[in-house]
Amino acid sequence: MWSYQKYLQYPAKVSKTDLEMAKLLYAQYAGPDSELGAAVRYLTQRYTMPTDEAKATLTDIGTEELAHWEIIATLIYKLVNGVSPKKLQQAGLGAHYAQHGRALYPHDAAGVPFTAAYLQSHEDPIANLQEDLAAEEKARATYENLIELSNDQGIIETLSFLREREVVHFQRFGETLNIVRDHLNK
């Protein structure tokens, strides 16, 4: 089971100079390669994994992704908090404001709602882990695009931490893939 800890994994710093980032950060909130997608993917795939190493990796990285989902949400919340509807509209969030106000909603940067069709879960553990390696790379590339699009030093610092975590996860998934291959070849 899960327990909630009332602190972020890494500080979410926002200097509020870059409202347009709120819309773009939705890519990582609930887009195809988002933290939400990663969490659901890993926490769904873990049950049929053949080794304890793979079960643990998917459980704990899946759990960390939920902590990242909270960091992205915090950045978006802080960016839009107290901002007038007109300014939100100018920053591309007019449609979001019409439907949700300043509340968060699981959609991507273009407003497309989250769907489980973004991910796969297969009984074949190699197929799962190859997808997971690709997912980490796509998330890393998305963070790099977001960093390039921002001029807010606080946001860039937080996104750089999250980008690093994708690199670490890729490494751990690679090791897990080797362990599972060895197990299947025994």
Partner 1 sequence: MTAEQLSLLKEIMAYRFSVLEFNLYLNTHPRDRGALEKYNKYVKELRDLCFEYQKKYGPLTATFPSEFPWEYYSTPWPWQINYD
Binding-site residue positions for Mn(2+): 35, 65, 68, 136, 169
The binder of partner 1 chosen from 9, 10, 32, 53 (CB under 8 A): 53
Q: According to CB under 8 A, which residues from 107 to 166 bind partner 1?
A: none
The binder of partner 1 chosen from 13, 20, 56, 77 (CB under 8 A): 56
Q: How far apart are the first and last CA of the chain?
A: 32
The binder of partner 1 chosen from 60, 124, 164, 182 (CB under 8 A): 60
Nearer to partner 1, 55 or 78 (CB): 55
Please report whether residue 52 would count as binding partner 1 according to CB under 8 A: yes
Cβ 99 to partner 1, closest distance in Å?
Answer: 28
**Interacting span for partner 1 (CB under 8 A) from 45-53, 92-100, 109-117, 127-135:** 45-53
**Whether 104 contacts 77, CB under 8 Å:** yes
The residue among 154, 116, 118, 123 whose CA lies nearest residue 134 is 118
Angle at 69 between CA 161 and CA 179, to 5 degrees: 70
Residue set of the binding site for Ca(2+): 60
**52-60, Cβ contacts within 8 angstroms, sequence gap of 24 or more:** 53/176, 53/179, 53/180, 54/125, 54/129, 54/176, 54/179, 54/180, 57/172, 57/173, 57/176, 58/132
Cβ 59 to partner 1, closest distance in Å?
Answer: 8
**Interacting span for partner 1 (CB under 8 A) from 8-16, 46-54, 91-99, 128-136:** 46-54
Nearer to partner 1, 4 or 113 (CB): 4
- Residue 24 and residue 97: Cα distance in Å, rounded? 15
Cβ 1 to partner 1, closest distance in Å?
Answer: 7
The residue among 56, 74, 66, 62 whose CA lies nearest residue 13 is 74
The binder of partner 1 chosen from 11, 17, 47, 87 (CB under 8 A): 47
Residues with Cβ < 8 Å from 154, sequence gap 6 or more? 12, 13, 14, 15
Residues engaged in binding partner 1 (CB under 8 A): 1, 47, 52-53, 55-56, 60
